[in-house]
A and B are shown apart, each in its own frame.
Chain A
Amino acid sequence: MRAASVLFASVIAFAAIEGAVFHTGLYPWILNPDASTGYVETILRNEIKRPKTGPQILGIGDSRMLLLPRLSNRHTAETGYTFGTIATAGASPRAWYYMLRDADPTSRRYRAIVIAVESYDDAERWNDENDNNEDLSYLIARLQLSDWWEFSRSYHDPDWQWKAARGIFLKGLVYKRDFQDLLLHPRSRLRYAKLNRRDAFSWNYNYDGPPDTLADFHVDWAAKTLIAPPNADPGLVQKLKFRLLDPLPAETGNESRYLTHWLGKIYEHYRSSPTRLIFLRLPRGGFVRPDQPRYNPHSSVRDLSMEPNVTLIDEHFFDSLEKPEFFRDEMHLNGPGMVPFSLMITQEVSRILGPPR
């Protein structure tokens, strides 16, 4: 009897300490801001604590959603809207859902959510996004015990299902690397985390983007050749060739199912709220390959656009930006490209929403 009670007490004590440290905001407070979880936490924390006066518009997407709120907000007097963004490099639609859920728990904080997608046709990807291994690290601080079943089952790979399932219960398993790094350099970590909490918002808000361009690159579509300048970074050349010249992945419907599920979850979050969901198709790159994915009339976003509070910005709205001088690599806008991109979003979204009521 003594053994049972002592063992029970041990389990309870472990669960209580694990819960207090990792299932509350305690540990996320000192996460390494440069690591996956810390990076997402910084972005979300900045957005959550950002003072919000007047109607708000929030952008979300991956690293290609290069909306500069600093530029958009110069026009607040004309548009009436204030812009923010939680776009995160490497974040997937699954991550967007959980990030939005925490950034806007009441579904009423924003007038509109601007969601940047790669394609309106659910273009297939080489990798199965369901098994995006970054998502668990990105979201671990945001996942709750009630997410256990849905989140872990959303992976297709049983190994990842297991990692997600145990990670949601024992978050320390996911924080492991971060914790070991903390053990190695406790002082510098605490200092950096504090500095990040204080200044990260202005670091991000004042980001200008790099000046590099693809202006010296050329593509001969007929010969299927990329002509690169002699001093070009070989890594960049390889990525450009892969994106522009390699065959497109075969259509399997996987990406469509994935997007339908997670964009659908985002829609469900805002279904009965005054928030409008506005989708935009990202500029495809400095060079646009001629063999684009097949038109899909029943893609996830096109089906969603039938709903009353969902709008698609014209698919070709950003075509004018698809020039080598506006891109720094195979898919990211550079500094000079980010300026018109941000201003175009500001104007178009404001137009769609009309003057604030």
Chain B
Amino acid sequence: MLFNTPQFFVFLLVTIGLFYVSPKRFRKWILLIASYVFYMSWNWRFTPLLLSLTVIDYVAAIWMERVESPSRRKLFLVASLAANLGFLGFFKYYNFLAGMLAEALRKDPHAFARSIVLPLGISFHTFQSISYVVDVYRGEQKAIRNPIDYALFIAFFPQLVAGPIVRAREFFADYYLWAPPISEETLRGVLWILLGLVKKMALADQFAQIADSYFQNLAAHPGAPAAWSGVVAFAMQIFFDFSGYTDMAIGMALLLGFHFPTNFRRPYLAFSITDFWHRWHISLSRWLRDYLYIPLGGNRHGSLMTYRNLMLTMLLGGLWHGASWNFVIWGGYHGALLGLERVFGRKHFQEPPNWVVYPFRVLITFLLVCIGWVFFRATTLHDSTYVIQQMFIWHGKAGLIPVWLTCMVAASLAIALLEEKMEWIERLAHGPAWGYVAAVVTLLFTVELIGVTEKAVPFVYFQF
């Protein structure tokens, strides 16, 4: 069940309906059952995996809290981490490592390969579990005693498959002090869902066609105009796709009385790579900072160690996206850019420049991010280098993006700038009814007339 299918909306409406008509004591059961139904609708065979990780982390956290000996606490932590990373490693990286081993032994690249299906959302729910267990270990979070509460935290369907990665304290603050959404929250929730649908169906899926046609047949589109338009199309696709999903997840959670953290804050308006990572996939950046970068030492041990930690964090962040050298290079590329920005003055890249310089800085940052996207999208290292070469060879025919899609991007940019300055979604929910109605009608017509509705295109981040 994809978020952009009618089946999902029926499921959502039924779940919300049952949730609100049921007595309070049954509501968590309804959400948990709905979440497992949602998960099983993809592939029921992985249900034991989700269940066993839930049980392991639930038990490990309780035992960690019970025992006093630091070494035993650490033992439970290690056991839990081993289980989470073991499953993640097996499903996600086995074939990658097997390929490397085969290459090292000069054997057929597929000699040790296995046919492994990646369980849906495993990267997200394992990171969410790890953050919970580590928080309990650090004493920053009380172990959850009720297994249903904990199971719901892990499996909650709006964020199960592609985030945002929610901290236990954020989730349980809403959960234990649950209150029905007020009018403005309901309106905001619906608006987020529609905005997400527009981003996904009217923008991401349209750009996907251009990006796919370029990256699937590079030889047919030589030259810089085609290369840049293919890469920019992918930049647009991945942003609108992932932020569209997140917007829908945030909206659904709001309708159920939960408040998810912001995951995207108009990342293509970033004026530096440092700023970009404060705006792009914020819940992952935050996770990497708190559970990797800071434990590695952060910036506490001098410049060299800081650069090393930064690079390691970004390399692992890249690898988290997928088992391929391209993702590692993508992470390394961003790590290098972040390091360079530190070399040239951290303050300079963290504080917004004046309005004259700002557009140029935004453009340069966007172009740098686009170069990084080449490694993210191309299937091989050879293709990546080819595309980057093409981006700087000025020959070939015109670009691939039609005028009307350029206009759509221009409109999106205007809306993003308005949101940056005015927070219009908040204002619409609080403002006069006619403004809200006009916005909803516009969004619905955009989905109807511009959206790709012939087939439901899966979200890009579902593969991670």
Contacts and interface: CB of A to CB of B under 8 A. Distances in A.
B183 A1 contact: yes
Interface string B255-270: 0000000000000000
A1 B453 CA distance: 32
B186 interface: yes
B449 A175 contact: yes
Interface of B: 6, 183-184, 186-187, 190, 402-404, 433, 436-437, 440-441, 444-445, 448-450, 453
Contact of B183 (A2, A13, A172): A2
Contacts of B433: 2, 5-6, 9
Interface in A299-335: none
A10 B453 CA distance: 21
Main secondary structure of the interface of B (DSSP, over half): helix
B82 to A, nearest CB: 45
Interface string A1-36: 111011101100110011000000000000000000
B183 A180 contact: no
Given A6-B436, A184-B403, A172 B190 contact: no
Given A7-B187, A7-B190, A172-B448, A184 B440 contact: no
Given A3-B183, A7-B190, A180 B437 contact: no
Interface string A143-173: 0000000000000000000100010001011
A179 interface: yes
A187 interface: no
Nearest to B403: A184
A3 B449 contact: no
Nearest to A159: B455
Residue of A6, A162, A184 contacting most chain B CB atoms (<10 Å) = A6
A188 B437 CA distance: 32
12 contacts: A3-B183, A3-B187, A6-B433, A10-B440, A10-B441, A10-B444, A14-B440, A14-B445, A17-B445, A162-B6, A180-B449, A184-B402
A184 B187 contact: no
A170 B187 CA distance: 23
A175 B449 CA distance: 8
B444 A14 contact: yes
Interface of A: 1-3, 5-7, 9-10, 13-14, 17-18, 162, 166, 170, 172-173, 175-176, 179-180, 183-184
Nearest to A21: B445
Contact of B445 (A6, A166, A172, A183): A172
A172 B437 contact: no
A13 B441 CA distance: 7
A176 B453 contact: yes
B12 to A, nearest CB: 14
Given A170-B448, A180-B450, 11 more contacts: A1-B183, A2-B187, A9-B433, A10-B437, A10-B441, A14-B445, A17-B441, A162-B6, A176-B448, A179-B449, A184-B402
A17 B442 CA distance: 11
Contacts of B450: 176, 180
B445 A3 contact: no
Contacts of B190: 7
B449 A176 contact: yes
B404 A183 contact: yes
Contacts of B6: 162, 166
Given A3-B187, A7-B190, A10-B441, A184 B404 contact: yes
A17 to B, nearest CB: 6
Contacts of B186: 3, 7
Contact of A14 (B184, B436, B441, B453): B441
Top 8 nearest A-B pairs (CB, nearest first) are A10-B440, A3-B186, A3-B183, A172-B448, A2-B183, A10-B437, A14-B441, A14-B444
Contacts of B440: 7, 10, 13-14
Nearest to B439: A10
Contacts of A162: 6
A180 B404 contact: yes
A13 B448 contact: no
A197 B220 CA distance: 41
Contacts of A170: 448
A3 B404 CA distance: 34
B435 to A, nearest CB: 10
B184 to A, nearest CB: 8
B110 to A, nearest CB: 36
Nearest to B188: A3
B422 to A, nearest CB: 20
A157 B374 CA distance: 40
Nearest to B182: A3
Nearest to A166: B6
Contacts of B183: 1-3
Nearest to B432: A6
Nearest to B186: A3
Contacts of A2: 183, 187, 433
A6 B402 CA distance: 36
